[in-house]
Homo-oligomer: A and B are copies of this chain.
Amino acid sequence: MRLKMEAFIKEKQKEIVAALEEVDGKKFTTDTWERKSSGGGGISCVLQGGNVFEKAGVNISVVYGKLPRSAVLKMRADHKNLDPTVESLDFFAAGLSMVLHPSNPMAPTVHLNYRYFETMNDDGSTQSWWFGGGTDLTPSYLFDEDAIHFHKTIKEACDGHDKRYYPAFKKWCDDYFYVKHRGESRGIGGIFFDDLDDKDPENLFSFVRDCLDAFLPSYLPIIEKRKNMPFTPEEKEWQQIRRGRYVEFNLVHDRGTAFGLNTPGARVESILMSLPLTARWQYMHAPAPGSKEDRLLNILKKPVEWV
């Protein structure tokens, strides 16, 4: 499964980057990095200041090495078969993660991440394993048809495997991407799951494959429709304020970001690639009651069932 997942995310990275270059008209720059202290590395593809994307990153990483005991104890909450007495534990992790911030305020930011995690016995055989990930949409201006299309595409990918997945993972996404101190969601959701090992690995790999395959069909029609829409300077400013909230979630609440930043030898530039190129914090900004901006805020306060 390690090799399969690695090969799959490499292939998907190329496919997604090629499709996004088609949309944008500019090329991504690619850099390959290696973990200094331990095993593995990654490939970061980034497009900054594009025609369509203000900042877009499509990263894969394949890392392995030894987890310290503190990390093992934390993971035991969800994986009871991990031995709490070990000093350290061999692990392997492979994932693709992506954040796209378009320039046009009518076009939504999208985030996606799928990963496979494994712990190993001393002889290199698999001990525990699981899949995690999801995808979610963050508009500054909400077009209901976009939200419906996005959720519908993901739901179909989920339903092909397990009818319980979409409702459960949609709720998990709403719960996870919640900017607690603002009392609002980061965006209009999608799906999120972690520690998924309820079926055999082949089965779940095929589920994750279908989720990743659903990305381009879920997002391309939206970005094509929105990327050239006219907008006012005030609408651009509202987008910048919403980008500030995105930064707040990622830096204050996102467990993945916190985990990354606290990992010695972590590649900070790849972790913070998720942050927008520009953001704004305006004291006591409040949209006019009944405006489009106000409607978005109200929807973010109470998740909607889009399909």
A280: interface (CB < 8 Å): yes
B279/A273 in contact, CB under 8 A:
no
B251/A247 in contact, CB under 8 A:
yes
Query: Whole-angstrom distance from the CB of A269 to the nearest CB of chain B?
Result: 5
Cα of A244 to Cα of B269 in the assembled complex, Å: 13
Q: Given the interface contacts A251-B248, A252-B261, A261-B252, does A277 sit within 8 Å of B282 by beta carbon?
A: yes
Contacts of A262 in B (CB 8 A): 181
B261/A272 in contact, CB under 8 A:
no
Q: Given the interface contacts A182-B268, A251-B248, does A279 sit within 8 Å of B282 by beta carbon?
A: no
B261/A181 in contact, CB under 8 A:
yes
Q: What residue in chain B is nearest A46 (Cβ atoms)?
A: B283
Query: Whole-angstrom distance from the CB of A145 to the nearest CB of chain B?
Result: 31
B278/A240 in contact, CB under 8 A:
yes
Query: Whole-angstrom distance from the CB of A259 to the nearest CB of chain B?
Result: 12
Count of residues in A whose CB is under 8 Å from the partner chain: 33
B31/A268 in contact, CB under 8 A:
no
Question: Digit string of A204-245 for contact with B (CB within 8 Å is 1, else 0)?
Answer: 000000000000000000000000000000000000100010
Q: What residue in chain B is nearest A260 (Cβ atoms)?
A: B181
Interface residues of A in 82-106 (CB under 8 A from B): none
Query: Whole-angstrom distance from the CB of A174 to the nearest CB of chain B?
Result: 20
B268/A181 in contact, CB under 8 A:
yes
Copies in the complex: 2
A111: interface (CB < 8 Å): no
Contacts of A275 in B (CB 8 A): 244, 281
A284: interface (CB < 8 Å): yes
B277/A278 in contact, CB under 8 A:
no
A108: interface (CB < 8 Å): no
A48/B282 in contact, CB under 8 A:
yes
Contacts of A46 in B (CB 8 A): 283-284
A151: interface (CB < 8 Å): no
A155: interface (CB < 8 Å): no
Cα of A277 to Cα of B283 in the assembled complex, Å: 8
Interface residues of A in 249-296 (CB under 8 A from B): 251-252, 258, 261-262, 266, 268-269, 272-273, 275-284
Cα of A252 to Cα of B258 in the assembled complex, Å: 8
A55/B283 in contact, CB under 8 A:
yes
Query: Whole-angstrom distance from the CB of A152 to the nearest CB of chain B?
Result: 32
A283/B279 in contact, CB under 8 A:
no
A134: interface (CB < 8 Å): no
A139: interface (CB < 8 Å): no
Question: Digit string of A168-196 for contact with B (CB within 8 Å is 1, else 0)?
Answer: 00000000000011100000000000000
15 more A-B residue pairs beyond the given contacts A46-B283, A279-B281, with a C-beta to C-beta distance below 8 A: A46-B284, A48-B283, A57-B283, A181-B266, A240-B278, A244-B275, A247-B247, A247-B251, A247-B279, A248-B272, A252-B252, A278-B279, A278-B280, A278-B281, A279-B279
